[in-house]
Amino acid sequence: MSERHPGASPLAEVVRVDCLVCPHRALLAEGKCVPGDICLIAQSGRQIDRFLRRNPQVAQDCLNDGFWERRAIAARYAPLEAVRKLPRDADEVVRRVVASRLPIDELDGYLHDSDREVRMTVAERIAPERLSALIGDEDYLVRLQAAKRLPHGQLRRMAGDPDREVRKEVARRLPPFALSLMAKDDDAEVRRIVASRMLPDDAVQMLADDDWLVRLEAVQRAPLETIAELVDDAEPDVRGAVRERLNDFLLGESQ
Kindly write down the DSSP assignment for every residue of 72-117, as one continuous string.
HHHHHHS-HHHHHTPPPPSSHHHHHHHHHHS-GGG-GGGTT-SSHH
Does residue 101 lie within any of the structural domains? no
Q: What are phi and psi of 115, to 5 degrees?
A: -100, 130
Q: CA 219 to CA 236: how far, in whole Å?
A: 13
Does residue 104 lie within any of the structural domains? no
For residue 184, which of 175, 198, 173 has the smallest C-alpha distance?
198
Domain extent at residue 212: 175-246
Name 34's bridge partners: 38
Rounded to an integer, what is the distance from CA 216 to the centroid of its chain? 30
Residues 163, 180: one domain? no
- What is the per-residue pLDDT for 16? 55
- What is the per-residue pLDDT for 87? 93
Q: Count CB atoms within 10 A of the CB of residue 229.
A: 10
How many CA within 13 A on the CB side of residue 94? 25
Residues 163, 121: one domain? yes
Q: What is the DSSP string of 110-170?
A: GTT-SSHHHHHHHHHHS-GGGGGGGTT-SSHHHHHHHHHHS-HHHHGGGTT-SSHHHHHHH
Residue type, 209: D
> What's the Cα-to-Cα distance from 52 to each of 9, 67, 99, 144, 225, rounded to whole Å?
20, 15, 19, 34, 68
- What is the per-residue pLDDT for 254? 59
Does residue 255 lie within any of the structural domains? no
- What is the per-residue pLDDT for 164? 97
Residues 160, 181: one domain? no
- What is the per-residue pLDDT for 28? 80
> What's the Cα-to-Cα distance from 141 to each of 87, 96, 136, 169, 246, rounded to whole Å?
27, 15, 11, 11, 43
- What is the per-residue pLDDT for 4? 47
Does residue 7 lie within any of the structural domains? no
- What is the per-residue pLDDT for 249? 67
- Domain of 183: which CATH number? 1.25.10
Q: CA 182 to CA 194: how far, in whole Å?
A: 7
Does residue 193 lie within any of the structural domains? yes
Measured in residues, the chain has a length of: 255
pLDDT along the chain (255 residues), means of 10: 43 57 79 87 92 95 95 98 95 98 95 97 96 96 97 95 98 97 98 98 97 97 94 95 86 62
- What is the per-residue pLDDT for 176? 97
- What is the per-residue pLDDT for 3? 41
Does residue 100 lie within any of the structural domains? no
Tell me how many domains the chain contains. 3
Does residue 197 lie within any of the structural domains? yes
Residues 30, 43: one domain? yes
- What is the per-residue pLDDT for 19? 81
Residues 84, 19: one domain? yes
Residues 207, 217: one domain? yes
